[in-house]
Structure 1
Amino acid sequence: MSGAVSRRALLFALGGVGLLAGCGDDHATWHSAGDIPGDSHEGDSASPDVTDSASPLVVPPANKPTAGVCPPPPGVVQKSGGPQYSLPCHGTNIALTVDDGPDPTYTPRMLDLLAQQGIRATFCMIGRSAAAHPDLVKRVLDGGHHIANHTFSHPLNIAKMAAGAVHAEMAKATDAIAKASGGNYRPALFRSPGGAWSSTVLGQCGNLGLRPLDWSVDPRDWSRPGVQHIVTTILTKTHPGSIILEHDGGGNREQTLTALGIVLPRLRDAGYTFAQP
Protein backbone atom coordinates (compact mmCIF):
# COMPACT_ATOMS: atom_id res chain seq x y z
CA MET A 1 0.00 0.00 0.00
CA SER A 2 1.41 3.37 -0.91
CA GLY A 3 0.50 7.05 -0.80
CA ALA A 4 -0.24 9.40 2.04
CA VAL A 5 -2.66 8.30 4.71
CA SER A 6 -4.23 10.84 7.06
CA ARG A 7 -3.04 10.85 10.62
CA ARG A 8 -6.69 10.20 11.47
CA ALA A 9 -5.72 6.59 10.78
CA LEU A 10 -4.76 6.11 14.42
CA LEU A 11 -4.22 2.80 16.17
CA PHE A 12 -6.83 1.87 18.79
CA ALA A 13 -6.34 -1.11 21.05
CA LEU A 14 -9.36 -2.23 23.10
CA GLY A 15 -9.61 -4.67 25.99
CA GLY A 16 -7.20 -7.57 25.67
CA VAL A 17 -5.98 -6.62 22.19
CA GLY A 18 -2.20 -6.74 22.34
CA LEU A 19 -0.06 -3.83 21.23
CA LEU A 20 2.31 -4.14 18.37
CA ALA A 21 5.56 -5.92 19.01
CA GLY A 22 7.42 -4.32 16.13
CA CYS A 23 7.20 -3.06 12.57
CA GLY A 24 6.32 -5.06 9.50
CA ASP A 25 6.98 -4.46 5.85
CA ASP A 26 3.48 -3.77 4.52
CA HIS A 27 2.86 -0.17 5.58
CA ALA A 28 1.46 3.01 4.20
CA THR A 29 3.30 6.29 4.30
CA TRP A 30 1.70 8.28 7.12
CA HIS A 31 1.85 12.02 7.39
CA SER A 32 0.42 14.39 9.96
CA ALA A 33 -2.91 16.09 9.42
CA GLY A 34 -2.84 19.53 10.98
CA ASP A 35 -6.49 19.65 12.07
CA ILE A 36 -6.40 16.92 14.72
CA PRO A 37 -4.50 16.30 17.95
CA GLY A 38 -1.17 14.67 17.29
CA ASP A 39 -0.04 16.64 14.25
CA SER A 40 3.56 17.49 13.58
CA HIS A 41 5.74 19.70 15.73
CA GLU A 42 8.54 21.60 14.07
CA GLY A 43 10.35 23.41 16.85
CA ASP A 44 9.94 26.56 18.85
CA SER A 45 10.45 28.98 15.98
CA ALA A 46 7.32 27.74 14.20
CA SER A 47 4.92 29.74 16.36
CA PRO A 48 5.11 32.92 18.44
CA ASP A 49 5.00 32.79 22.20
CA VAL A 50 1.53 33.24 23.62
CA THR A 51 1.09 34.33 27.22
CA ASP A 52 -1.84 33.86 29.56
CA SER A 53 -1.84 37.32 31.09
CA ALA A 54 -4.82 38.62 29.12
CA SER A 55 -7.42 36.53 30.96
CA PRO A 56 -7.60 34.38 34.09
CA LEU A 57 -6.90 30.68 33.76
CA VAL A 58 -10.00 28.51 33.48
CA VAL A 59 -9.48 24.87 34.42
CA PRO A 60 -12.18 22.59 33.01
CA PRO A 61 -12.98 19.31 34.74
CA ALA A 62 -11.10 16.27 33.46
CA ASN A 63 -13.04 13.61 31.59
CA LYS A 64 -13.87 10.84 34.05
CA PRO A 65 -12.57 7.39 33.06
CA THR A 66 -15.22 4.73 32.51
CA ALA A 67 -14.12 1.23 33.45
CA GLY A 68 -13.81 -1.01 30.42
CA VAL A 69 -14.48 1.76 27.90
CA CYS A 70 -11.68 3.29 25.82
CA PRO A 71 -13.25 5.53 23.18
CA PRO A 72 -10.95 5.99 20.16
CA PRO A 73 -10.32 9.36 18.56
CA PRO A 74 -12.56 10.05 15.53
CA GLY A 75 -11.73 7.98 12.49
CA VAL A 76 -9.43 5.54 14.26
CA VAL A 77 -8.31 2.61 12.12
CA GLN A 78 -5.87 0.01 13.36
CA LYS A 79 -2.90 -0.53 11.07
CA SER A 80 -1.05 -3.79 11.50
CA GLY A 81 2.60 -3.10 12.17
CA GLY A 82 2.06 0.63 12.57
CA PRO A 83 2.78 2.97 15.45
CA GLN A 84 1.13 2.62 18.83
CA TYR A 85 -1.33 5.45 19.50
CA SER A 86 -3.17 4.06 22.53
CA LEU A 87 -2.66 1.89 25.57
CA PRO A 88 -4.53 -1.38 26.05
CA CYS A 89 -7.83 -0.50 27.68
CA HIS A 90 -7.97 -1.22 31.38
CA GLY A 91 -10.48 1.51 32.14
CA THR A 92 -8.17 4.09 33.68
CA ASN A 93 -4.73 3.72 32.10
CA ILE A 94 -3.16 6.71 30.34
CA ALA A 95 0.47 7.52 29.49
CA LEU A 96 2.57 10.68 29.53
CA THR A 97 5.37 11.00 26.98
CA VAL A 98 7.95 13.80 27.02
CA ASP A 99 9.91 14.67 23.88
CA ASP A 100 13.06 16.38 22.62
CA GLY A 101 15.25 16.28 25.72
CA PRO A 102 17.15 15.87 27.81
CA ASP A 103 17.50 19.58 28.51
CA PRO A 104 19.63 20.89 31.41
CA THR A 105 17.07 23.57 32.31
CA TYR A 106 13.71 21.83 31.94
CA THR A 107 14.34 18.10 32.32
CA PRO A 108 15.33 18.35 36.02
CA ARG A 109 12.20 20.39 36.72
CA MET A 110 10.06 17.92 34.80
CA LEU A 111 11.54 15.09 36.84
CA ASP A 112 10.88 16.95 40.10
CA LEU A 113 7.25 17.51 39.09
CA LEU A 114 6.73 13.88 38.14
CA ALA A 115 8.32 12.71 41.38
CA GLN A 116 6.00 14.97 43.37
CA GLN A 117 3.01 13.45 41.60
CA GLY A 118 4.28 9.88 41.73
CA ILE A 119 4.06 9.58 37.95
CA ARG A 120 6.38 7.66 35.66
CA ALA A 121 6.64 8.80 32.07
CA THR A 122 8.40 7.90 28.83
CA PHE A 123 11.09 10.37 27.75
CA CYS A 124 11.65 10.35 23.99
CA MET A 125 15.25 11.52 23.78
CA ILE A 126 17.29 12.99 20.96
CA GLY A 127 20.56 11.09 20.80
CA ARG A 128 22.88 14.06 20.59
CA SER A 129 21.21 15.62 23.64
CA ALA A 130 21.53 12.37 25.56
CA ALA A 131 25.22 12.27 24.67
CA ALA A 132 25.65 15.84 25.90
CA HIS A 133 23.83 15.22 29.20
CA PRO A 134 24.50 11.69 30.44
CA ASP A 135 23.75 12.78 34.01
CA LEU A 136 20.17 13.54 32.99
CA VAL A 137 19.82 10.22 31.17
CA LYS A 138 20.83 8.45 34.37
CA ARG A 139 18.50 10.60 36.46
CA VAL A 140 15.55 9.80 34.18
CA LEU A 141 16.23 6.09 34.53
CA ASP A 142 16.80 6.37 38.28
CA GLY A 143 13.33 7.92 38.54
CA GLY A 144 11.78 4.79 37.06
CA HIS A 145 10.97 6.38 33.72
CA HIS A 146 11.41 4.80 30.31
CA ILE A 147 13.47 6.25 27.46
CA ALA A 148 12.50 6.04 23.80
CA ASN A 149 14.72 6.62 20.77
CA HIS A 150 13.76 9.92 19.09
CA THR A 151 16.55 9.85 16.46
CA PHE A 152 20.00 11.34 16.85
CA SER A 153 19.38 14.79 15.33
CA HIS A 154 15.54 15.08 15.07
CA PRO A 155 15.22 15.37 11.26
CA LEU A 156 11.68 16.47 10.42
CA ASN A 157 11.96 15.07 6.91
CA ILE A 158 12.66 11.55 8.14
CA ALA A 159 9.68 10.10 6.24
CA LYS A 160 11.39 11.14 2.99
CA MET A 161 14.88 9.96 3.91
CA ALA A 162 16.60 6.91 2.42
CA ALA A 163 16.74 3.71 4.42
CA GLY A 164 20.44 4.05 5.19
CA ALA A 165 20.05 7.55 6.59
CA VAL A 166 17.03 6.53 8.68
CA HIS A 167 18.91 3.52 10.01
CA ALA A 168 21.87 5.71 10.95
CA GLU A 169 19.65 8.19 12.83
CA MET A 170 18.04 5.41 14.85
CA ALA A 171 21.15 3.32 15.48
CA LYS A 172 23.27 6.31 16.47
CA ALA A 173 20.60 7.49 18.92
CA THR A 174 20.31 4.07 20.53
CA ASP A 175 24.08 3.90 20.92
CA ALA A 176 24.21 7.41 22.41
CA ILE A 177 21.46 6.65 24.94
CA ALA A 178 23.06 3.33 25.86
CA LYS A 179 26.45 4.95 26.37
CA ALA A 180 24.98 7.83 28.40
CA SER A 181 23.21 5.32 30.65
CA GLY A 182 26.51 3.64 31.43
CA GLY A 183 25.69 0.73 29.15
CA ASN A 184 22.73 -0.34 31.28
CA TYR A 185 19.85 0.71 29.03
CA ARG A 186 18.92 0.39 25.38
CA PRO A 187 15.59 1.84 24.19
CA ALA A 188 12.86 -0.52 23.04
CA LEU A 189 10.61 2.25 21.67
CA PHE A 190 11.00 4.67 18.77
CA ARG A 191 9.14 7.93 18.25
CA SER A 192 9.47 9.55 14.86
CA PRO A 193 10.12 13.33 14.79
CA GLY A 194 6.88 15.17 14.09
CA GLY A 195 4.99 11.88 14.08
CA ALA A 196 6.14 11.31 10.49
CA TRP A 197 5.98 7.64 9.51
CA SER A 198 6.77 5.89 6.26
CA SER A 199 7.31 2.31 5.17
CA THR A 200 11.05 3.01 5.34
CA VAL A 201 10.90 4.37 8.90
CA LEU A 202 8.72 1.50 10.08
CA GLY A 203 10.91 -1.03 8.29
CA GLN A 204 14.00 0.27 10.07
CA CYS A 205 12.15 0.01 13.38
CA GLY A 206 11.76 -3.68 12.66
CA ASN A 207 15.39 -4.04 11.63
CA LEU A 208 16.57 -2.47 14.89
CA GLY A 209 14.03 -4.14 17.18
CA LEU A 210 12.26 -0.87 18.05
CA ARG A 211 8.51 -0.60 18.61
CA PRO A 212 7.03 2.56 17.00
CA LEU A 213 5.29 4.88 19.45
CA ASP A 214 3.02 7.81 18.60
CA TRP A 215 0.40 9.73 20.61
CA SER A 216 -3.31 10.55 20.73
CA VAL A 217 -3.43 13.81 22.75
CA ASP A 218 -1.33 16.73 21.47
CA PRO A 219 -1.73 20.18 23.10
CA ARG A 220 1.02 21.50 20.80
CA ASP A 221 2.96 22.72 23.80
CA TRP A 222 6.07 22.96 21.62
CA SER A 223 4.52 26.05 19.98
CA ARG A 224 3.91 27.74 23.35
CA PRO A 225 0.18 28.29 22.72
CA GLY A 226 -0.44 29.42 26.30
CA VAL A 227 -1.00 27.53 29.54
CA GLN A 228 -4.78 27.77 29.06
CA HIS A 229 -4.63 25.96 25.72
CA ILE A 230 -2.39 23.19 27.04
CA VAL A 231 -4.52 22.65 30.16
CA THR A 232 -7.83 22.67 28.28
CA THR A 233 -6.62 20.34 25.55
CA ILE A 234 -5.28 17.72 27.93
CA LEU A 235 -8.22 17.74 30.32
CA THR A 236 -10.88 17.63 27.60
CA LYS A 237 -9.17 15.29 25.12
CA THR A 238 -7.79 12.66 27.50
CA HIS A 239 -9.72 9.40 27.74
CA PRO A 240 -8.81 5.91 28.94
CA GLY A 241 -5.97 4.62 26.80
CA SER A 242 -4.71 8.08 25.78
CA ILE A 243 -1.02 8.73 25.18
CA ILE A 244 -0.28 12.39 25.93
CA LEU A 245 2.50 14.30 24.17
CA GLU A 246 4.52 16.96 25.99
CA HIS A 247 8.07 18.37 25.70
CA ASP A 248 11.02 19.01 27.99
CA GLY A 249 13.41 20.07 25.21
CA GLY A 250 13.56 22.14 22.06
CA GLY A 251 12.99 25.56 23.61
CA ASN A 252 11.31 27.38 26.47
CA ARG A 253 9.10 24.90 28.34
CA GLU A 254 7.76 27.14 31.12
CA GLN A 255 4.21 26.83 29.80
CA THR A 256 4.49 23.05 29.66
CA LEU A 257 5.67 22.79 33.25
CA THR A 258 3.04 25.21 34.53
CA ALA A 259 0.27 23.39 32.66
CA LEU A 260 1.37 19.94 33.82
CA GLY A 261 1.48 21.18 37.39
CA ILE A 262 -2.25 21.85 36.99
CA VAL A 263 -3.42 18.89 34.90
CA LEU A 264 -1.51 15.96 36.39
CA PRO A 265 -3.12 16.09 39.84
CA ARG A 266 -6.52 16.70 38.24
CA LEU A 267 -6.18 13.65 36.02
CA ARG A 268 -5.20 11.56 39.01
CA ASP A 269 -8.09 12.96 41.05
CA ALA A 270 -10.46 12.09 38.19
CA GLY A 271 -9.38 8.47 38.56
CA TYR A 272 -6.73 7.98 35.89
CA THR A 273 -3.72 5.73 36.42
CA PHE A 274 -0.46 6.62 34.68
CA ALA A 275 1.18 3.70 32.91
CA GLN A 276 4.01 3.33 30.40
CA PRO A 277 3.55 2.09 26.82
Structure 2
Amino acid sequence: MRRAAVAITTAMVVVVTLTTGFVLGRTIDSQQSAASEPSPKTESPSPPPTSPESSAPPSEEPVPELVPLEPDDTWDGPSGTMRLTGTDEVALTFDDGPSPSWTPKVLNTLSAWGVKATFCLVGKEARAYPELVQDIVNQGHTLCNHSWNHEYDLGSESAAKIRKNLERTNDAILAAVPDAHIGYYRQPGGQWTNRVVGVSMKLGMVPLHWSVDPSDWDKSVKTAHIEKEVRGATDAGAIVLMHDGGGDRGRTFSALEPILSDLTSRFHLIPLP
Protein backbone atom coordinates (compact mmCIF):
# COMPACT_ATOMS: atom_id res chain seq x y z
CA MET A 1 0.00 0.00 0.00
CA ARG A 2 2.77 2.46 0.90
CA ARG A 3 4.69 1.55 -2.24
CA ALA A 4 1.60 2.25 -4.27
CA ALA A 5 1.23 5.66 -2.61
CA VAL A 6 4.87 6.52 -3.38
CA ALA A 7 4.48 5.47 -7.01
CA ILE A 8 1.30 7.50 -7.46
CA THR A 9 2.77 10.59 -5.80
CA THR A 10 5.92 10.39 -7.96
CA ALA A 11 3.92 10.08 -11.15
CA MET A 12 2.00 13.20 -10.23
CA VAL A 13 5.24 15.10 -9.55
CA VAL A 14 6.66 14.05 -12.94
CA VAL A 15 3.53 15.30 -14.68
CA VAL A 16 3.71 18.64 -12.87
CA THR A 17 7.40 18.96 -13.85
CA LEU A 18 6.64 18.37 -17.54
CA THR A 19 3.69 20.74 -17.48
CA THR A 20 5.77 23.46 -15.80
CA GLY A 21 8.52 23.01 -18.40
CA PHE A 22 6.00 23.42 -21.18
CA VAL A 23 4.67 26.63 -19.66
CA LEU A 24 8.20 28.01 -19.17
CA GLY A 25 9.10 27.31 -22.81
CA ARG A 26 6.03 29.11 -24.04
CA THR A 27 6.91 32.03 -21.77
CA ILE A 28 10.41 32.37 -23.28
CA ASP A 29 8.98 32.35 -26.82
CA SER A 30 6.50 35.00 -25.78
CA GLN A 31 9.29 37.21 -24.38
CA GLN A 32 11.24 37.01 -27.64
CA SER A 33 8.22 37.98 -29.78
CA ALA A 34 6.79 40.63 -27.49
CA ALA A 35 9.25 42.01 -24.94
CA SER A 36 6.62 44.35 -23.54
CA GLU A 37 4.58 41.50 -22.16
CA PRO A 38 5.57 40.38 -18.62
CA SER A 39 6.50 36.75 -18.26
CA PRO A 40 4.20 34.68 -16.09
CA LYS A 41 5.49 33.53 -12.72
CA THR A 42 6.20 29.82 -12.54
CA GLU A 43 6.74 27.67 -9.49
CA SER A 44 9.41 25.02 -9.27
CA PRO A 45 8.00 21.63 -8.32
CA SER A 46 9.53 19.72 -5.45
CA PRO A 47 12.13 17.16 -6.55
CA PRO A 48 10.76 13.60 -6.71
CA PRO A 49 11.66 11.34 -3.77
CA THR A 50 14.40 8.80 -4.30
CA SER A 51 12.82 5.38 -4.69
CA PRO A 52 13.59 2.27 -6.71
CA GLU A 53 9.98 2.34 -7.89
CA SER A 54 9.75 6.09 -8.54
CA SER A 55 9.86 5.96 -12.35
CA ALA A 56 6.55 6.32 -14.18
CA PRO A 57 5.71 7.16 -17.81
CA PRO A 58 4.96 10.86 -18.28
CA SER A 59 1.47 11.91 -19.25
CA GLU A 60 0.83 14.06 -22.29
CA GLU A 61 -2.29 15.52 -20.71
CA PRO A 62 -1.90 18.55 -18.43
CA VAL A 63 -2.98 18.08 -14.84
CA PRO A 64 -5.30 20.93 -13.84
CA GLU A 65 -5.27 20.09 -10.15
CA LEU A 66 -3.33 17.87 -7.77
CA VAL A 67 -5.49 16.04 -5.25
CA PRO A 68 -3.57 15.19 -2.05
CA LEU A 69 -3.39 11.48 -1.35
CA GLU A 70 -4.79 10.07 1.85
CA PRO A 71 -1.89 9.58 4.29
CA ASP A 72 -0.96 6.00 5.16
CA ASP A 73 -1.56 5.73 8.89
CA THR A 74 -0.39 2.13 9.21
CA TRP A 75 2.88 3.10 10.88
CA ASP A 76 1.89 6.27 12.71
CA GLY A 77 1.89 4.78 16.21
CA PRO A 78 4.31 6.09 18.86
CA SER A 79 7.94 6.04 17.65
CA GLY A 80 6.82 4.80 14.24
CA THR A 81 5.07 1.65 15.45
CA MET A 82 2.41 -0.28 13.55
CA ARG A 83 -1.04 1.05 14.49
CA LEU A 84 -3.27 -0.34 11.72
CA THR A 85 -3.36 -3.52 9.66
CA GLY A 86 -2.82 -1.63 6.40
CA THR A 87 -5.89 -3.28 4.86
CA ASP A 88 -9.65 -3.23 5.42
CA GLU A 89 -9.24 -6.21 7.74
CA VAL A 90 -9.40 -5.93 11.52
CA ALA A 91 -7.04 -7.66 13.97
CA LEU A 92 -7.88 -8.61 17.54
CA THR A 93 -4.92 -8.80 19.91
CA PHE A 94 -4.80 -10.20 23.44
CA ASP A 95 -2.08 -9.19 25.90
CA ASP A 96 -0.49 -10.39 29.15
CA GLY A 97 -1.15 -14.12 28.84
CA PRO A 98 -1.09 -16.95 28.68
CA SER A 99 -3.35 -17.33 31.70
CA PRO A 100 -4.75 -20.69 32.86
CA SER A 101 -7.87 -18.88 34.05
CA TRP A 102 -8.74 -16.87 30.94
CA THR A 103 -6.74 -17.91 27.88
CA PRO A 104 -8.62 -21.22 27.40
CA LYS A 105 -11.97 -19.41 27.65
CA VAL A 106 -10.90 -16.79 25.12
CA LEU A 107 -9.63 -19.51 22.79
CA ASN A 108 -12.90 -21.42 23.03
CA THR A 109 -14.95 -18.33 22.24
CA LEU A 110 -12.76 -17.40 19.28
CA SER A 111 -13.02 -20.96 18.00
CA ALA A 112 -16.81 -20.91 18.27
CA TRP A 113 -16.88 -17.83 16.03
CA GLY A 114 -14.20 -19.08 13.66
CA VAL A 115 -11.96 -16.11 14.46
CA LYS A 116 -8.17 -16.07 14.66
CA ALA A 117 -6.28 -13.46 16.67
CA THR A 118 -2.80 -12.45 17.80
CA PHE A 119 -1.60 -13.17 21.34
CA CYS A 120 1.08 -10.99 22.93
CA LEU A 121 2.77 -13.28 25.45
CA VAL A 122 4.66 -12.40 28.61
CA GLY A 123 7.82 -14.50 28.78
CA LYS A 124 7.53 -15.78 32.33
CA GLU A 125 3.90 -16.78 31.72
CA ALA A 126 4.89 -18.62 28.55
CA ARG A 127 7.53 -20.48 30.54
CA ALA A 128 4.99 -21.34 33.26
CA TYR A 129 2.24 -22.50 30.87
CA PRO A 130 3.86 -23.91 27.73
CA GLU A 131 0.78 -26.03 27.00
CA LEU A 132 -1.24 -22.83 26.55
CA VAL A 133 1.31 -21.48 24.10
CA GLN A 134 0.91 -24.73 22.19
CA ASP A 135 -2.88 -24.40 22.23
CA ILE A 136 -2.66 -20.85 20.87
CA VAL A 137 -0.44 -21.91 17.98
CA ASN A 138 -2.27 -25.17 17.27
CA GLN A 139 -5.54 -23.27 16.89
CA GLY A 140 -4.08 -21.02 14.20
CA HIS A 141 -3.43 -17.84 16.16
CA THR A 142 -0.23 -15.81 15.81
CA LEU A 143 2.29 -14.68 18.40
CA CYS A 144 3.75 -11.45 19.72
CA ASN A 145 6.51 -10.89 22.29
CA HIS A 146 5.29 -8.78 25.24
CA SER A 147 8.53 -8.66 27.28
CA TRP A 148 9.67 -11.04 29.99
CA ASN A 149 7.80 -9.65 33.00
CA HIS A 150 5.65 -6.88 31.54
CA GLU A 151 8.29 -4.22 32.17
CA TYR A 152 6.72 -0.83 31.52
CA ASP A 153 10.07 0.97 31.58
CA LEU A 154 11.96 -1.49 29.40
CA GLY A 155 12.36 1.11 26.67
CA SER A 156 14.50 3.27 28.95
CA GLU A 157 17.06 0.50 29.48
CA SER A 158 20.20 0.04 27.41
CA ALA A 159 19.91 -1.65 24.05
CA ALA A 160 21.79 -4.65 25.44
CA LYS A 161 19.32 -5.08 28.32
CA ILE A 162 16.34 -4.70 26.01
CA ARG A 163 17.74 -7.29 23.65
CA LYS A 164 18.40 -9.73 26.48
CA ASN A 165 14.83 -9.32 27.74
CA LEU A 166 13.23 -9.87 24.34
CA GLU A 167 15.46 -12.82 23.50
CA ARG A 168 14.67 -14.43 26.86
CA THR A 169 10.97 -14.08 26.12
CA ASN A 170 11.35 -15.54 22.65
CA ASP A 171 13.33 -18.45 24.09
CA ALA A 172 10.49 -19.26 26.50
CA ILE A 173 7.97 -19.22 23.66
CA LEU A 174 10.20 -21.34 21.44
CA ALA A 175 10.74 -23.83 24.27
CA ALA A 176 7.00 -24.48 24.12
CA VAL A 177 6.71 -24.39 20.32
CA PRO A 178 10.17 -24.78 18.74
CA ASP A 179 9.11 -23.73 15.25
CA ALA A 180 6.89 -20.83 16.35
CA HIS A 181 7.00 -17.61 14.37
CA ILE A 182 7.18 -14.57 16.66
CA GLY A 183 6.60 -11.73 14.25
CA TYR A 184 5.74 -8.87 16.60
CA TYR A 185 6.78 -7.08 19.76
CA ARG A 186 4.44 -4.95 21.87
CA GLN A 187 5.82 -2.67 24.56
CA PRO A 188 3.88 -2.93 27.86
CA GLY A 189 1.69 0.08 28.45
CA GLY A 190 2.52 1.38 24.99
CA GLN A 191 5.54 3.12 26.53
CA TRP A 192 7.58 3.07 23.36
CA THR A 193 11.00 4.55 22.84
CA ASN A 194 13.06 4.68 19.67
CA ARG A 195 15.53 2.34 21.32
CA VAL A 196 13.07 -0.46 22.08
CA VAL A 197 11.58 -0.09 18.59
CA GLY A 198 15.04 -0.40 17.06
CA VAL A 199 15.99 -3.47 19.08
CA SER A 200 12.75 -5.28 18.32
CA MET A 201 13.18 -4.63 14.61
CA LYS A 202 16.77 -5.87 14.69
CA LEU A 203 15.43 -9.08 16.20
CA GLY A 204 13.01 -9.41 13.29
CA MET A 205 9.87 -8.33 15.15
CA VAL A 206 7.45 -5.63 14.03
CA PRO A 207 6.78 -3.06 16.80
CA LEU A 208 3.04 -3.45 17.30
CA HIS A 209 0.81 -0.73 18.76
CA TRP A 210 -3.00 -0.48 18.47
CA SER A 211 -5.78 1.83 17.34
CA VAL A 212 -8.57 0.70 19.70
CA ASP A 213 -8.11 0.45 23.48
CA PRO A 214 -11.25 -0.25 25.55
CA SER A 215 -9.22 0.06 28.78
CA ASP A 216 -10.17 -3.46 29.82
CA TRP A 217 -6.98 -3.45 31.90
CA ASP A 218 -8.62 -0.90 34.22
CA LYS A 219 -10.38 -2.68 37.10
CA SER A 220 -13.00 0.08 37.29
CA VAL A 221 -14.13 -0.40 33.69
CA LYS A 222 -17.32 -2.40 33.26
CA THR A 223 -18.21 -4.99 30.66
CA ALA A 224 -20.67 -2.64 28.96
CA HIS A 225 -17.95 -0.03 28.45
CA ILE A 226 -15.55 -2.56 26.95
CA GLU A 227 -18.17 -3.77 24.51
CA LYS A 228 -19.36 -0.28 23.58
CA GLU A 229 -15.85 1.07 23.09
CA VAL A 230 -14.67 -1.75 20.84
CA ARG A 231 -17.84 -1.75 18.75
CA GLY A 232 -17.91 2.02 18.42
CA ALA A 233 -14.22 2.71 17.84
CA THR A 234 -13.38 -0.12 15.46
CA ASP A 235 -13.07 0.91 11.82
CA ALA A 236 -11.62 -0.88 8.82
CA GLY A 237 -7.94 -1.60 9.42
CA ALA A 238 -8.17 -1.38 13.21
CA ILE A 239 -5.91 -3.22 15.62
CA VAL A 240 -7.89 -3.87 18.79
CA LEU A 241 -6.18 -4.20 22.17
CA MET A 242 -7.68 -6.54 24.78
CA HIS A 243 -6.32 -8.79 27.53
CA ASP A 244 -6.48 -12.49 28.37
CA GLY A 245 -4.01 -12.34 31.25
CA GLY A 246 -2.54 -10.14 33.95
CA GLY A 247 -5.46 -10.35 36.37
CA ASP A 248 -9.20 -10.87 36.44
CA ARG A 249 -10.35 -10.71 32.82
CA GLY A 250 -13.94 -11.73 33.47
CA ARG A 251 -15.26 -8.43 32.12
CA THR A 252 -13.26 -8.78 28.92
CA PHE A 253 -14.45 -12.35 28.51
CA SER A 254 -18.08 -11.34 29.06
CA ALA A 255 -17.76 -8.61 26.42
CA LEU A 256 -16.00 -10.83 23.90
CA GLU A 257 -18.97 -12.69 22.42
CA PRO A 258 -21.09 -9.60 21.67
CA ILE A 259 -17.96 -7.92 20.29
CA LEU A 260 -17.37 -10.86 17.95
CA SER A 261 -21.02 -10.90 16.93
CA ASP A 262 -20.80 -7.26 15.88
CA LEU A 263 -17.35 -7.18 14.31
CA THR A 264 -17.76 -10.37 12.27
CA SER A 265 -20.88 -8.87 10.72
CA ARG A 266 -18.93 -5.82 9.54
CA PHE A 267 -15.32 -6.86 9.01
CA HIS A 268 -13.02 -9.71 8.14
CA LEU A 269 -11.10 -10.50 11.32
CA ILE A 270 -7.54 -11.73 10.86
CA PRO A 271 -4.54 -12.82 12.89
CA LEU A 272 -1.60 -10.56 12.12
CA PRO A 273 0.74 -12.60 9.88
* TM-score > 0.5 by shorter chain: yes
Q: Which residue of 1 aligns with 2:204?
A: 209
Q: Which residue of 2 aligns with 1:84?
A: 82
Q: Which residue of 2 aligns with 1:33?
A: none
Distance 1:166 1:17, change over 3 A: farther
Displacement over 3 Å in runs of 4+? 13-18, 70-73, 76-81
Q: CA deviation at 1:160?
A: 1.4
- How many residues end up aligned between the 2 structures? 208
Percent identity over the alignment?
34
Secondary structure of the 2:226 match is helix
Q: Which runs of 5+ in 2 are unaligned?
A: 7-69
The range that moved more, 116-125 or 223-232, is: 223-232
Q: Which residue of 2 aligns with 1:258?
A: 254
Q: CA deviation at 1:161?
A: 1.4
Distance 1:223 1:177, change over 3 A: same
1:150 aligned residue (134, 143, 146): 146
1:219 and 1:72 map into 2 onto residues whose CA distance is: 24
Query: Superposition RMSD on alpha carbons, in Å?
Result: 2.4
Residue by residue over 1:98-122, the C-alpha shift from the partner in whole angstroms, topping out at 9 and shown as x without a partner, is 0000000100000000000110000
Contact 2:76 2:83 survives alignment (8 Å): no
Residue by residue over 1:126-179, the C-alpha shift from the partner in whole angstroms, topping out at 9 and shown as x without a partner, is 011001101000000011000101111110111211212111111100111011
Distance 1:157 1:104, change over 3 A: same
1:1-277 aligned within 5 A: 78=76, 82-90=80-88, 93-181=89-177, 183-224=178-219, 225-269=221-265, 271-277=266-272
The range that moved more, 107-116 or 162-171, is: 162-171
> For residue 86 of structure 1, what is the amino acid of its counterpart?
L
Instruction: Answer 1 or 2: higher relative contact order, Cα 8 Å, separation at least 6.
Output: 1
Contact 1:108 1:136 survives alignment (8 Å): yes
2:167 and 2:95 map into 1 onto residues whose CA distance is: 18
Distance 1:130 1:233, change over 3 A: same
> For residue 151 of structure 1, what is the amino acid of its counterpart?
S
Q: Which runs of 5+ in 1 are unaligned?
A: 1-12, 19-69
Structure exhibiting the larger radius of gyration computed from Cα positions:
2
Q: Which residue of 2 aligns with 1:7?
A: none
2:155 and 2:180 map into 1 onto residues whose CA distance is: 27
Structure with greater helix share of residues? 2
Secondary structure of the 1:189 match is strand
Secondary structure of the 2:80 match is coil
- TM-score between the two structures when normalised by the length of structure 2: 0.71
Q: Which residue of 1 aligns with 2:66?
A: none
Q: CA deviation at 1:80?
A: 11
